[in-house]
Structure 1
């Protein structure tokens, strides 16, 4: 039988190919003008002018891989009404059939620039995505409201941005102002030209209730706290609270010994209306906290280390960043293999700096660490999925909720990464009799080249070499064993070497009690294996725990406990009463339209995590959390 020719395996497309990225300047200046005054409908109206190189095919990208998100989650569905014109005439665009964030146009002869008009639609409710505009404030993130020419590095494209805000509103941003003007319907601010990578790394917050606080008076580079709130009464930091935030800046300087920014702005949204966020930038950060962050200071623990974490990212993640994160534009996939350094060590330093500055006390830091250790010590999913693989989670799951977190795992490189770096710190302290710690690594790795702003990529081998520069050890094996292993249990050697052990008692620590009260959360994960919310809904279930074995899952709700109406206190008492007996705990559970009775055969009593001192050992954790004097 005659052989026929194989079909052409090249994917069919009528589109021009997307240009290969080259490192040379894009002509002219891309101008981005944003009208952010449509507060009622939460609509940003955008007019963009893009210089072109000449007639012929042009590809425009909507950013897909957003810095700090670690995955391709650019909200392209929020782009609407796109009309492209040249010399007043409409040019049709076509979306690429494979790269759906790419738009192809053909530039006519004689055209030197094109215009794009469209809307960025902020979600109006949380189910649609993160709300970025309310009646009181907004959070303009430029990567969500621009197109940029393909084929260039982001630092090759010069941009100039203006924003129109409601009359009388104030704003905060790392961008520098070029001019301001009052016009009908609002105030327009034009910012100085910057490259595209700097623009996208410099978001803006604005609002009607605003205060700016200098966190480094007389310092070598300004550090400001720009506060926006749902209500003016919430912007009421005490002198003592301001002193703590200033101490954060001081302790970071003492840790790193260098700055890689010429100015820095904490953009703080005190809100339960704007969508929550904690996102790092080189010269700023977006930090959403509870409206009562200042006015109910002693009961608001959920956000206590947020500013310390995001500030640390200026050094770790922005200046020094993993080589796989150093990509030419926002449509080149990121490689996340070193997120346990980028985020894990930032999580470590965020908690440490929070303790050293006074955002947490030593005891609070220890209580918080106990919760972290217990949570990850009970991640049964490590039996099949190594921690190293969780760096892929922002790409795989796109930060969507999960039903069986303890089995599926999540972005565990944050907190389990923190535990690995705690292990490294205490090992260094042990080997050097307390003369050195991970502080020495931080200063050598993140604190060199004072005043240098350009990114400094690093590899796994660079991390190992820097650790060996502090103290000789087989650091490659140390790290790979913890990253690629399967347990059992989390890497808790750092606790023992630090002078503590993880234990469980029948009472909550003050930190856990206050934290869960603020979050309206009731944690029974280490006893019956579930967690409930303020309405007795089941919000988490421990894989293979008592509740799991009884057939319970997220989404169900507890109606009754041992014949009485469900409540956190009734469930607590039932667990206590069942201890050391043979009587099961009886629950009536609502599952959609169905009700059923469930028996929990558990008799171990209440169990809450704590750190207990190991007698006769050095208290290296207290040394770690102590404020530095130089």
Structure 2
């Protein structure tokens, strides 16, 4: 396939697109003292315009302070005398929220010609810094530190003794009043001695442990993070060229040991994704993969790369990694859905203009669907493993009481209510996972409906090509993003087969109460039904973390940790009805000390019996004894084949041959 390689012309291409991009995404400013009433000492924060910022910012990061876990940055910013406002990124791409960790920014010192320049934080918006560039100055220097954290309690770990995950937006200030494509940055990184790295940026030089990169606009810089490490390997996995790579870092060098068979599966992933979308909207793509239990967990999409953490033995204990193998396919599919094409209300002018998330059920939900499909088509998952994932997802939503009050559309706002804030009552609150997983069920519903209506001549694959891939003429190799709306989604579906797609989608997105049944029609149309069994298979245990402590669909909770903490309590379930909330540990089942196995045996023995299951629980100094009446035994979800119907699920998951 022909591809327009966008390397040295990248900056010119995106800057040229800046005015059109700004018009299509809006240029609204964030809150200021004036527009919320008060704080006379804070000037207005300039709204982003399509103008190009004069000059190129020099950005120098030092990631060598591994002992203190501190990343130090020096920026040289061209500047004219007079007022200037610098912004710290607030709304982070892929987070869909105002999650910029400004609390970890410290040591902000600004100078001009070696003399201090006073700065003052905006009184209403703490992400803005106001200053006056002195007369005669042509640039300012900004120094700062990103105080990364030693544990994942509040922010994820990004520095370990052998790995650093450098995300530029976490340690940068940029001039207000400009779109992100209109600000040029020339970046360099000082690395620990002997380290190497992966990034989508183009390296100009790597000498004396300093890597220097080709200048890019701020948008591209933020979209091109780095994984650096003492143990590093870059592997070509592009069967049709040399444009897609695994960049692997690891806590231990021996873990970077993918087999030829494993690498073949990732080559299959690249091939199957090419066949699905029909075009590539990048010049090259870099999977950044950390094999670690020390770095914080992440799966984050970028246009030409992705950040991914997996278990240290991901390759060396391949059988144990099955449940996490859909991560890279999901993030790769985001290059098409989420980066090249993304909801128009998320195409903000810069990182301090509020995002809206009305279409996350497409951005994340359909990508979740394609992640599962591509995992199967590439061989990373077997058909049975994919059916297990689907059964687990279907059972969760079939048993979700929160559907009574909160519709799926509203869960798209969850990140804006508090970035992925966990709650004690997830089954009642609903949240982030819903616009991924429930939406994936909706897209299975749409796929099977298209296949049924067209006698299996067309499918959601045709929608993917039209919406995200080769259906966009002249897009092969071009990676300037463009937005889509709900109307665009409906039009693309109608382009595959005429149907009342707007009603189809809105019914599933907006329903609450008795009308809000889990969207399981696609499973039946695919040739299966959801059932429950009393004993999971070995494959089901492997895919679902053992399932040995999961009693969600029987007693309505899970056992967590060595103290058998009662967690994940299902709202309205048996243990909830007995008055149990958060903070209780199970200490005995009948007259036996509690273990998951003892509880499983008790639930099994009580099946069809009239005797209650006696549980003894402890919370602090309190002890409670419960007699639970549950006679249906253990229940684990499974998909059962509906005989005499087309196995459309097998068709969906079969590798594409063209």
Q: Deviations over 1:186-242 (max 9, x none)?
A: x111111000000000000011111111101452x6100001111112111111111
Shift of 1:591: 1.4
1:26 aligns with 2:53: yes
Q: How many Å separate the matches in 1 of 2:36 and 2:568?
A: 47
Post-superposition offset of 1:476 = 0.3
Query: Which residue number in structure 2 is paired with residue 63 of structure 1?
Result: 89
3-state SS, counterpart of residue 127 of structure 1: coil
Q: Structure 2 regions of 5+ residues with no counterpart? A: 1-34
Q: State the distance in 2 between where 1:461 and 1:571 align.
A: 51
Question: Given the alignment of the two structures, is residue 441 of structure 1 paired with residue 467 of structure 2, yes or no?
Answer: no
**How does 1:450-469 map onto structure 2 within 5 Å?**
450-469=476-495
Partners of 1:567 and 1:94 in 2: CA distance: 57
Cα contact 1:270–1:290 (8 A) shared by 2: yes
SS of corresponding position for 1:454: coil
* Correspondence for 1:207: 229
Residue matched to 2:552? 525
Instruction: Return the alpha-carbon distance in structure 2 between the equivalents of residues 233 and 552 of structure 1.
Output: 46
Counterpart residue number, 2:72: 45
Residue deviations 1:244-284, cap 9 Å, x none? 01100000001000000000000000110000000000000
Question: Any residues of structure 2 matched to 1:412-561 within 5 Å, and which?
Answer: 412-448=434-470, 449-486=475-512, 487-517=515-545, 522-535=549-562, 536-561=564-589
Secondary structure in 1 aligned to 2:448?
helix
Are residue 583 (structure 1) and residue 611 (structure 2) matched?
A: yes
C-alpha distance in 1, partners of 2:527/2:66?
Answer: 54
Correspondence for 1:196:
218
Correspondence for 1:378 among 388, 394, 399: 399
Larger mean Cα displacement after TM superposition, 191-200 or 600-609:
600-609
Greater mean alpha carbon deviation, residues 435-444 or residues 10-19: 10-19
SS in 2 for 1:575: helix
Equivalence map 1:74-473=2 (5 Å): 74-182=100-208, 187-219=209-241, 222-411=243-432, 412-448=434-470, 449-473=475-499
In 1: Cα distance, 2:228 partner to 2:235 partner: 15
What displacement does 1:613 show? Answer: 1.1
> 1:42 deviation in Å?
0.5
- 1:128 deviates by 3.6
Q: Which runs of 4+ in 1 moved over 6 A?
A: none
Give the superposed CA RMSD.
1.4
**Alpha-carbon distance in structure 1 between the residues aligned to 2:509 and 2:70:** 44
For residues 450-470 of structure 1, the C-alpha deviation after alignment (integer angstroms, 9 at most, x for no partner) is 122111211100000000000
Distance in 2 between the 1:521 and 1:582 partners? 25
Distance 1:459 1:297 in 2: 40
Classify 1:269/1:521 alpha carbon distance in 2 versus 1 (closer, same or farther; 3 Å).
farther
Once the two structures are TM-superposed, the CA of residue 551 in structure 1 deviates from its matched residue by 2.2
TM-score when normalising by structure 2: 0.92
Q: CA deviation at 1:72?
A: 0.3
Q: Kindly indicate whether the alpha-carbon contact (under 8 Å) linking 1:64 and 1:330 is maintained by their aligned counterparts in 2.
A: yes
* Aligned partner of residue 301 in structure 1, secondary structure: helix
Q: Is the 8 A contact 2:377 2:655 kept in 1?
A: yes
Residue 521 of structure 1 deviates from its aligned partner by 6.6
Q: Distance in 2 between matches of 1:166 and 1:240?
A: 33
1:618 aligns with 2:646: yes
Distance in structure 2 (CA, Å) of the matches to 1:56 and 1:525? 62
Question: In structure 1, what is the Cα distance between the partners aligned to 2:582 and 2:271?
Answer: 43
Question: How far is the alpha carbon of 1:618 from its aligned partner?
Answer: 0.7
Provide the C-alpha distance between the structure 2 equivalents of 1:314 and 1:255, rounded to a whole number of angstroms.
13
SS in 2 for 1:628: coil
CA–CA distance in structure 2, aligned partners of residues 500 and 435 of structure 1? 20
Which residue in 1 is equivalent to 2:28?
A: none
- After superposition, the Cα gap between the structure-2 partners of 1:144 and 1:342, relative to the gap in structure 1 and judged at 3 Å, is same
Contact 1:426/1:620, CA 8 A, preserved across alignment: yes
Q: 1:516, 1:522 within 8 Å by CA — same for their partners in 2? A: no
**1:59, 1:103 within 8 Å by CA — same for their partners in 2?**
yes
Q: Does structure 2 retain, via aligned residues, the 8 Å contact 1:498–1:619?
A: yes
| Alpha-carbon separation, structure 1, partners of 2:642 and 2:211 | 59
Q: TM-score, normalised by structure 1?
A: 0.96
Gaps of 5+ in 1: 1-7
- Count of residues in Structure 1 that have an aligned counterpart in Structure 2: 616
> What does residue 5 of structure 1 align with?
none
CA 1:9 to 1:514, structure 2 compared with 1: closer, same or farther past 3 Å? closer
Question: Hey, what's the Cα distance between the residues in 2 that align with 1:50 and 1:9?
Answer: 30
C-alpha distance in structure 1 between counterparts of 2:399 and 2:120, whole Å: 50
Could you give the per-residue CA deviations for residues 469-527 of structure 1, whole angstroms, max 9, x where no partner exists? 00000000000000001244311110111111111110114343113436x87211000
CA distance in 2, matches of 1:32, 1:116: 9
Matches of 1:282 and 1:530, distance apart in 2: 39
